[in-house]
Structures are given as C-alpha cells and as structure tokens.
Amino acid sequence: MAFDSRAMYIDRGKTNDSVSEFQFASHSYKSVDDNETVIRGVDFFPPFLGSNEDNVKIGDFLRVLLPVGLIEQFIITGTSPLTVNFSNAVNIIASFTGPWTASPTDLIVTQTRINSLVKISVEGSIQASSSAVAINAPAGTIIAGNRPPFLTTTPIIVVVNSLSKFGRFDVLADGSLGIFTDAGNATFAGTGNEGFFNADISYASN
C-alpha cells in the first residue's frame, strides 16, 4: 500500500494549538494495511508528513500504530525528504520454562530498537528449582524486526544450586531465548534456588 494522508494527524498548526515552533510535537499515523517493513521503507512518508514546513520540525516525534496493535515511536531527523531515527521500545510478557517448581514463569521482555541497533532486556527470576533443564522462551518472543540474523549470545550471571556463576544468554533468529549455565548448553541442576539476574544483550538487526 502507500501513505494515506487521512490516517495522518499533525500535532501543530491547529486552531487553539498549544504546541509552538519552539516545542516538539507528537504527530501520529495509523497504518491499516502496511506492516512494519513497509513503514520503515525509504520514502514511505512524504516531505513534512504531507503538511508544510511550519507544522513539522526536526526533533518532533512520529508515533505509528501498526495493524498488529504495536505502537512505534520515531524521532524526525529530516523533513524534506522525511527521515526518522527508528526508535521503538516494546514490553511484552513472555512465558519462560525452566528448572523452577513454578514453571512456566511469566517475565517481562523489553525490546528497544534505535535504527539497526536492538537491545533486549529480560526481567530476572530466581526461584526454588526442581528440574535439571535450561531456561527457554518460545519462538516469536522477540518480534519480527528486532530479531538477530543469526544466533547471538552474551555471558550473564546465573544462579545454580543457590550459587552464582557465569552462564550464557542466547537470542535466536526465530525470536526464541535460551539461558544456560555455561558456555555450552549445560542445564541447571534442579535443586536449591536457581535462575538468573536481569539479562541484557545488544546486537545489530536487519
């Protein structure tokens, strides 16, 4: 599809508008048919978002509601042609399976993207353990557009049988997550308190 001016709301230059040229505005666009890939394409948005130079300024925000219900927020870095700094943060609640007696456990996964750089942060959980398995979140936990092109890994601190040690945090190309107790694929012990502290990883996405 293509840009639809009827779905564009310009937050400056309106009657009784309180946003001046010296303040940032938050413009919004509701996409009915176009997915994230199309929205992020070159020249999707026209110069000045289809408005004029008085109403759209560098530094303004552009919020886009995608058909799947996600909201992305961009920073306008150029007006003609219209360019943006791709910056979005999404919080989801993901179901993690692991060694815990209370498994699966719901944890918050924060996904932040600025241009091609993605940062994934996972809320930690240390609980009573009863199974000798790894910690996993299913495919699709990381949304399309934020996934790495291949397996990406980083060391983190895990707790095994109530003792802290270095483990490994994986993000896979299908959007699944894995947490292991060493550089290999070692599982947790299944006894004592086990889990991990907050885990973070950054990488370049397509």
For the chain, domains (ranges, CATH) are: 5-80 (no CATH), 90-204 (2.60.40)
Give the integer Cα–Cα distance in Å for 71 and 148: 21
The residue ranking higher by pLDDT, 176 or 84, is 176
Residue 199's Cβ-count burial label (10 Å; 0-12, 13-18, 19+) is buried
Burial of 27 per CB tally in 10 Å (0-12, 13-18, 19+)? buried
Strands in 56-150 per DSSP E: 61-65, 71-79, 82-96, 105-114, 117-122, 125-128, 135-137
Query: Which residue in 152, 129, 131 sits closest to 142, CA to CA?
Result: 152
Average pLDDT of the segment spanning 200-205: 89
Reply yes or no on whether the pLDDT at 183 is more than 80.
Answer: no
Q: How many CB atoms lie within 10 A of CB 80?
A: 10
- Backbone φ and ψ for 2, nearest 5 degrees, come out as -150, 170
Output phi, psi for 149, to 5 deg. -70, -15
Tell me the per-residue pLDDT of 42-58, one tens digit each, with 9 for 90 and over.
788 999 999 988 889 88
